Amino acid sequence: MEFEEEVMEPVSPLGQYCNSSVLSISVLVILEMGIPIDDSQTMSLLRDVFLPIHPRFSSIMVNTNGKKQWKKVEVKLEDHVNVPIFPSGLSLESYDRYFNDYLSKIAMERFPQNRPLWELHIIKYPNTNAAGNVVFKLHQSLGDGYSLMGALLSCLQRADNPSLSLTFPSRKRSKMQSDKEKSLFSFVPQIFSSAFNTLSDFGRSILKSNLFEDDQTPIRSGDDRVEFLPITITTVAFSLDKLKLIKSKLGVTINDVISGIIFLGTRLYMQEINHESIKSESTALVVLNTRMRGGDYKSVKEMLNPETKMPWGNRFSFLHVEIPTLSEFTNPIDFVTHAHRLIKKKRSSYAVYLNGLLLELLQVAARYVTKTLRSSSMTISNMIGPVEEMSLANHPITGFYFVGAGLPEDLGITIVSYMGKLRVAFRMAKGHIDSHKLKSCVENAFETIFEASNKLPSY
């Protein structure tokens, strides 16, 4: 096949800044396998299932007459598959350390530019969470989290019945809320409120990205080369049923609840490490999808349709959200209700779309995004996962999570739901953040909020 004769696709501005000399962002998707891994089908699955998903998985980024384009090439699968060798006969806890060190190693490595920007890592050693792990490393220039997650899910099947499609939690709003939004008397005030919030949020984001930085704290070192330093990854799983009980008691959303837990847990950690940081100015950079709201993952065929509302590609933006201090609230559930009010206000703002448009227009977007990330204390990103257990080549997947790599920040938090659990992953700068203590503080925040909400009457 003469790949050179094929029409090459231009790389989007967002795709270019994700893969530049200034910034190189990747996503690690970690699948926890329920049984020991048999990798005999690896090459055939990659060739027959994974590569056909999208042309970018068989393409490299080239510079043609000053313009970056995707050029299709012949894929040597053996160059993309890695099966590390660890010492044999160790304890599960020892393999935890080897696995985490391996994740840190591959997270710091940049992709070679002479082959497609993805890798597969098969770790056959058991640890405290799984009988083995499969790790996909995918460059952000291939597509954003929505696109890449949709692609990977198309490779997986329902463990109970492969002939059935995976299903996802409903995002439908209550009838009462929908009726209220359609009310004529509430429509006009909403327009003015939305316009004000948009201008306010957009202006604050511009100022924050260019002029102001968060304070240096136990979660923000201020190191200008933090993206090149080793990382530590730890996760915590929360019961969706318990989160729904808190949600019901307070009359908020699951996103409000988990945001409140993260904000409280982070502040508890900061106070425990350095009491002087309790009043520090800290913000979370919330990464948001700029596609039209609503809807579950689409098939790759649907995403490639130019008329679809959920197209393939990099379509994300961000908003700054202030992390409340412990001195502002005396009741732990106030962190949840505060998150609810804040997120509701942000939801009526279209600043996220203006930020996304700005990234498309800026010629120096990579430097702008790098400065924005460095100026904030952490990023938060969340995805919705399937309700049912998944399998890969007849290997049940007991859990999964994802983390970002190559980001110029000390703390990144990613959230995904799966099989009745909400998995929160913390990617931290090794040496600056105590992973065990931060995890303990977030778990403590959850228990504190859960106990406090149980004492309240139902909403």
> For residue 286, what are the β-bridge partners?
319, 380
Q: How high is the pLDDT of residue 195?
A: 47
Measure CA of the first residue to CA of the last residue in the chain; give whole Å.
Answer: 64
Q: What average pLDDT score do residues 364-390 get? A: 82
Can you give the pLDDT at residue 6? 58
Per-residue pLDDT of 103-138, as tens digits, reads: 999 999 999 999 999 999 999 999 999 999 999 999
Q: Examine the pLDDT at 445 and tell me if it is beyond 60.
A: yes
Of 3-17, 94-108, 229-243, where does mean pLDDT reach its minimum? 3-17
pTM: 0.85
More confident residue, 99 or 368: 99
pLDDT in tens, 394-407: 999 999 999 999 99
pLDDT tens-digit series, residues 176-211: 444 444 443 443 444 444 444 444 454 455 555 555
Q: Which amino acid is at 70?
A: W
For residues 42 and 120, the answer to whether their CB atoms sit within 8 Å is yes
Q: How high is the pLDDT of residue 317?
A: 65
Tens of pLDDT, residues 259-293: 999 999 999 999 999 988 888 889 898 877 655 44
Cβ within 8 Å of residue 88, ≥6 positions away: none
Q: What is the pLDDT of residue 367?
A: 67
At residue 366, the pLDDT reads: 60
Nearest CA to 453 among 345, 343, 337? 337
Distance between CA atoms of residues 198 and 359, nearest Å: 17
Distance between CA 415 and CA 403 in Å, rounded? 9
Name the residue with higher pLDDT: 25 or 18.
25
Higher pLDDT, 458 or 271: 271
Share of the chain above pLDDT 90, in %: 52
pLDDT-derived band at 13, boundaries 50, 70, 90:
confident
Segment 290-316 shows an average pLDDT of 53
221-247 mean pLDDT? 93
Domains and their CATH numbers in the chain = 3-158 (3.30.559.10), 179-384+420-454 (3.30.559)
Q: How confident is the model at residue 14 (pLDDT cuts 50, 70, 90)?
A: confident
pLDDT score of 410 more than 90: yes
Q: For residue 267, report the phi and psi dihedrals to the nearest 5 degrees.
A: -65, -35
Q: What is the pLDDT of residue 370?
A: 77
Least confident of 147-151, 283-287, 306-310: 306-310
Model pLDDT, residue 354? 53
pLDDT of residue 51: 94
Q: Mind spelling out the 3-state secondary structure of the chain?
A: CCHHHCCCEECCHHHHHHECCCCECEEEEEEEECCCCCCCCHHHHHHHHHHHHCHHHHEEEEEECCEEEEEECCCCHHHCEECCCCCCCCCHHHHHHHHHHHHHHHHHCCCCCCCCCEEEEEECCCCCCCCEEEEEEEEHHHCCHHHHHHHHHCCCEECCCCCCCCCCCCCCCCHHHHHHHHCHHHHHHHHHHHHHHHHHHHHHHHHHHHCCCCCCECCECCCCCHHHCCEEEEEEEEEHHHHHHHHHHHCCCHHHHHHHHHHHHHHHHHHHHCHHHHHCCCEEEEEEECCCCCCCCCCHHHHHCCCCCCCCCCCEEEEEEECCCHHHCCCCHHHHHHHHHHHHHHHCCCHHHHHHHHHHHCCCHHHHHHHHHHHCCEEEEEECCCCCCEEECCEEEEEEEEEEECCCCCEEEEEEEECCEEEEEEEEEECCECHHHHHHHHHHHHHHHHHHHHCCCCC
Using CA atoms, how far apart are residues 196 and 193, in angstroms rounded to an integer? 5
Q: Is 231 exposed, middle or buried (0-12, 13-18, 19+ CB in 10 A)?
A: buried
Judged against a pLDDT cut of 70, whether residue 345 lies above it is answered with: no
